[in-house]
Chains A and B, each alone.
Chain A
Amino acid sequence: MTALRRLAVALAMLISFFPIYWLVSTSFKPHDEWATFPPVWLTERPTLQNYRIVFAPELAREVAATEAGSLDYKVSASAWKAFADSAIISTAATILSVLFGTLAAYSISRYRTGGENYPFQFLTIRMFPPIAVVVPMVVVFSFVRLSDTYPGLIIAYTAFTLPFSIWMIRSFIDEVPEDLESAAMIYGMGPMKAFLTVTLPLVKGGILATALFVFILNWSEFLFALTLTQGKIVTVTVQVANYVSASSGKLYGVQAAMGTVSTLPVILFGYLIQKHLVRGLSFGAIKR
C-alpha cells in the first residue's frame, strides 16, 4: 500500500467523520462558544447544559440560575415526548411492515403470485416523491380523522416501507431451497405449517435484519412526520427541525445535542446490520 493511497483513505475517513465530530463536539460547548470566530474546535469548558435543555428544561433553568454564564432557554416541552412518539410509531410500523412483508414475500417467492411483474408494482411507491402523495393524503387523513394520530403515521410508514420488506425478505426466502418445504409437505404438513416450521427458522436472521433496517427508515423519516401531524404527535426528526427553525439558527448547542441523541439508536442498528445494508438499500438486487 503506497503512501498516496494511504493518504487518500485517511482523507476520505476524515471527511466522513468531520461533520459528525462537529455535531457531537458542539453539543458539549457552552453557549458563548457556539458561533465565535475563529470557531472553537474542541471546547475546554465542556457542559451538559445543552442536553439538560433538551431533556429537562426545568432542571436547565435551575442550573442557569446558579451557574454564571449558563443559558436559560425556555423550551415548551422536553424531548422525551418526541422519543416516546418516535419509538411507538416506528416499532408498530416496523412490526406491521415486516409481518405483511413476510407473508407477501413467501407467497411471491413460492407461488409466483401475480406473475413476474407483480412484485414491481410495490416498487412504484418508492419511485415518486412522497410529497406528491402527501398532499392528497393530508386531505384524506383529515377527512377520516387520522391526521395527528398514531394510527395515521403508522399506516403511512407501513405502506412506504413495504417495498423494502417484501423485496428484502423475498431475497432471503429465495435462498432457501424449496425442496425442504416440499419434503415437509410429503410428511403431511400444510403449506403454511411447512413454511412456519421449516423455512421461517432458516430466514429468521434475515427477517430480523429487515426489521432493523425498516426501523431505521421509520425513525429517520421526516416528511410524513412533518406534514401529517399538527403538534400533538412529535417525532424526533420534527423535534430536530423545530430547534433549527424556531431559533432561526441561534441555538447550535441545543440542536447539536438533540441531533446527537436522536441519531444514536440508528447508528447502533446500522452497524448491527452492516452486512445487510447493501441488500436492503438495493431491494435485494445486490448481495454479498
Chain B
Amino acid sequence: MGGARKRARPTADARGNALMDQDTAATMPTTRIRKPLIPFNVGLVLPAQLTMLAVVLAPTLIAIYLSVTDWQPTAGVPWYRAEIVWFWNFYDLWYDERYINALWRTLLVVVVAVVCELAIAIGLALLFLDEWPWRKLAVSVLILPMMIVPVDAANAFFMLFNDRGPINHLIGMAIGRSFEFSWLSDPNWALAPIVLCEIWQWTPLMFLLMLTGFTNLLQNQIRAAIVLGASRVRIFFRIMLPLLMPVIAVALLIRGIETFKIFDAVYILTRGGPGASTETISMFMYNGAFVYFRIGYIAAAALLVLVVVVSICLALSRPLKRHHG
C-alpha cells in the first residue's frame, strides 16, 4: 500500500504552476491561473471538518467555561454572565458519592456486558463454522436483536420484566410455585434487566464479528494441526484463539466504548432509579443537567469524563490502527 501511492499527482495546483512556468501570461493576458487559496484535497475535507468543529469543539470550549461557573438555567442569569466559582465544581465532584458510584457502576456494566457478549459470541460462532442446512436463516434470526431500535428493545424488556410479565412466569414454572418480583423497583436487582437488555441486543454484533474473524482465518494451519492429531480443544486454544486476537481486540474496544455510553436502556427501564441505584455515568449527567438543572456542575463532570475517555481511547486505538495497516 505505502510507497507506491506517494508520488506526485497532477493536482489543480501543480498544473496551474506548470502553466505559469511556461510564461503563458503573454499569450493569454486576461486569464491568469492563480494558485488556489486552499489545496484541492484540503478543500474536500473541509465540510466534514467544519461540521465536526462546530458540533464538538465549540461546545467543548463552552463546557470548559461552564465548568468553572455554577450556572443554572433556573437562576435567571444568562449563561455568559454566570458567577465564576473556579474549581469548586471539581472539588465537589471528587467528594460526590453519586458521581463516583455512577462511574464505578458504568465500568461494572461495561465489563460484565462485554465479557458475557464475547463469551457467548465465540461459543455461537464455533457452531457456525461448517456448512449445514438452514445455516443462513439461523444467522439471520440470531442477528435480529441488533437490527431493532435500542429504545424499542428496552421497551420490550420493560414488558418482559414486569411484575406479572413472562420472565416471572417462566421462573415460577421452573421452581414450581408462583413467583412475583418487581425487578425494576428493587435497588439490588434493577441493574440486571438493563445489563441483560444490553447483552441481548449486542451479542449478535459480537457474534458477527467473531464469525467473520473465524471464517477469515487461514485454514492451512488448522488442517495441519488436525493431520498431526491435535485435539479440537487444543486447536481452538493454541491456534484459532491467538490468530483471532486482533479481531477480538477491535471488538472489545468498539463494544467497550459503546457500552460505556449506555443511556437508552437505563432511561426507558429505570431512569436511574430506584433512588440512584442504576445510575450510569450518562444517566447521572442527564439527571443532573435536565432534572436538577445544575449545568455548571455537570459540565465539570462531563469534562472529567471526556479527558479520561479520550486518553484511554487514544491509548487503546492502536489495535484498530494496526488492523488498517
Which of B5, B63, B178 lies in contact with A112, CB distance below 8 A?
Answer: B5
Question: Which chain A residue lies CB-closest to B159?
Answer: A252
> Given A159-B52, A191-B12, A262-B152, are A132 and B250 neighbors across the interface (CB < 8 Å)?
no
Pairwise interchain contact B156-A138, C-beta atoms closer than 8 A: no
Residue-wise, chain A 92-126 has the 8 Å CB interface mask toward B (1 for contact) of 00001001110110111011111000001111111
A107 touches B250 (CB 8 A): no
- Chain B residues 249-283 with CB under 8 Å of chain A are 250-251, 254, 257, 260-261, 263-264, 267-268, 271, 281-282
A8 touches B12 (CB 8 A): no
The CA-CA distance from A126 to B47 in the complex, in Å, is 18
Residue of B nearest to A103 (CB): B44
CB A108 to nearest CB in B, in angstroms, measures: 7
- In the complex, what distance in Å separates the CA atom of A43 from the CA atom of B290? 40
Q: Does A79 contact B (CB under 8 A)?
A: no
Q: Return B80 CB to nearest CB of chain A, in Å.
A: 8
Q: Are B200 and A15 touching (Cβ within 8 A)? A: yes
Chain A residues, Cβ within 8 Å of B123 = 8
Report if A263 contacts B (CB, 8 A): yes
Chain A residues closer than 8 Å to B162, beta-carbon distance: 35, 249, 252
Residue of A nearest to B260 (CB): A129
- Whether A162 lies near B205 (C-beta < 8 A) is no
Q: Are A120 and B52 interface neighbours, CB within 8 A?
A: no
Q: In chain B, what residue has the closest Cβ to A137?
A: B59
Q: Which of A50-58, A68-76, A203-211, A216-224 is the contact stretch?
A: A216-224
Whether B107 sits at the interface, judged by CB under 8 Å, is: no
User: Which of A127, A244, A271 is the one whose CB lies under 8 Å from B147?
Assistant: A271
Which residue in chain A gives the minimum CB-CB distance to B5?
A: A178
**What chain B residues lie within 8 Å of A143 (beta carbons)?**
79
| Chain A hits for B9, CB < 8 A | 111, 191
Number of chain B interface residues as a range: 35 or more
Q: Which of B40, B62, B314 contacts A136 (CB 8 A)?
A: B62
A287 → chain B closest CB, angstroms: 8
Determine whether the beta carbon of A9 is less than 8 Å from that of B138: yes
Q: Which single residue of chain B is at the shortest CB-CB distance from A195? A: B44
**Could you say which residues of chain B place their CB within 8 Å of the CB of A122?**
48, 52
| Cβ-based interface call for B321 (8 A) | yes
Query: Is A87 interfacial (CB-CB < 8 Å)?
Result: no
A38 CB within 8 Å of chain B: yes
What residues of B have a CB within 8 angstroms of the CB of A126 in the complex?
Answer: 257
Nearest residue (CB) in A for B208 is A278
Which of B27-35, B84-92, B304-312 faces chain A?
B304-312
Residues 229-264 of B contacting A (Cβ, < 8 Å): 247, 250-251, 254, 257, 260-261, 263-264
Tell whether, in the assembled complex, residue B42 and residue A274 are in contact, meaning their CB atoms are under 8 Å apart: no
Tell me which of A123, A162, A263, A274 has the highest count of chain B C-beta atoms within 10 A of its own C-beta: A263
Q: Does B158 have its Cβ within 8 Å of any Cβ on chain A? A: yes
B18-26, B93-101, B163-171, B220-228: which lies at the A interface? B163-171
Instruction: Flag if B268 contacts A104 (CB, 8 Å).
Output: no
CB distance from B90 to the nearest CB of A (A): 15
CB distance from B147 to the nearest CB of A (A): 4
| Chain B residues with CB under 8 A of A127 | 257, 309-310, 313
Q: Quick check: B313 and A124 within 8 Å, CB to CB?
A: yes
**Is B219 an interface position by the 8 A CB rule?**
no
Q: How far is the CA of A111 from the CA of B63 in the complex (A)?
A: 35
**A286 surroundings in chain B (CB, below 8 A):** 209, 212-213, 247, 250-251, 323
Chain B residues, CB < 8 A from A245: 271
Residue contact A259 to B156, C-beta cutoff 8 Å: yes
Task: Check A270/B47 contact, CB under 8 A, given A136-B63, A137-B59.
Answer: no
CA distance A16 to B165 in the complex (A): 18
Among candidates A26, A159, A287, residue contacting B56 with C-beta atoms closer than 8 Å = A159
When the two chains form their complex, are residues A135 and B321 in contact, meaning their CB atoms are under 8 A apart?
Answer: no
The answer to the question of B116 belonging to the interface, with a C-beta cut-off of 8 Å to chain A, is no
Chain B residues with CB below 8 A from A241, complex form: 151, 267-268
A1 CB-CB contact with B under 8 Å: yes
- Once A22-B160, A129-B285, A240-B155 are accepted as A-B contacts, the answer to whether A108 and B147 lie under 8 Å apart by CB is no
Docked CA distance A149–B73 (Å): 20
Q: Bound complex: CA of A268 vs CA of B177, how far in Å?
A: 41
Q: Cβ of A267 and Cβ of B47 under 8 Å apart? A: no
Contact with A along B110-136 (1 / 0, CB 8 A): 000000000000011001000010000
Q: How far is the CB of A224 from chain B (nearest CB, A)?
A: 10
Q: Given the complex, which residues of A lie within 8 Å of B200, measured CB to CB?
A: 15-16, 19
The listed residue with most A CB atoms (<10 A of its CB), out of B56, B143, B147, is B147
The answer to whether B149 touches A237, judged by C-beta atoms less than 8 angstroms apart, is yes
Contact flag A266-B144 (CB < 8 Å), given A15-B200, A159-B55: no
Q: Are A267 and B147 in contact (CB under 8 A)?
A: yes
Known contacts A36-B164, A114-B45; decide if A8 and B127 are in contact (CB<8 Å).
Answer: yes
List B contacts of A99 (CB < 8 A). 47
Given A16-B143, A133-B59, A222-B151, output 8 extra A-B contacts at Cβ < 8 Å: A37-B180, A112-B5, A132-B302, A133-B56, A135-B302, A139-B79, A240-B268, A286-B209
**Can you spell out 20 A-B residue pairs with CB atoms less than 8 angstroms apart?**
A22-B156, A35-B162, A38-B169, A108-B45, A111-B9, A124-B310, A125-B52, A127-B310, A129-B309, A130-B261, A136-B299, A159-B52, A222-B267, A223-B282, A263-B148, A282-B209, A282-B251, A283-B320, A285-B250, A288-B216
Closest 5 CB pairs of A and B: A159-B55, A111-B41, A107-B44, A132-B302, A270-B147
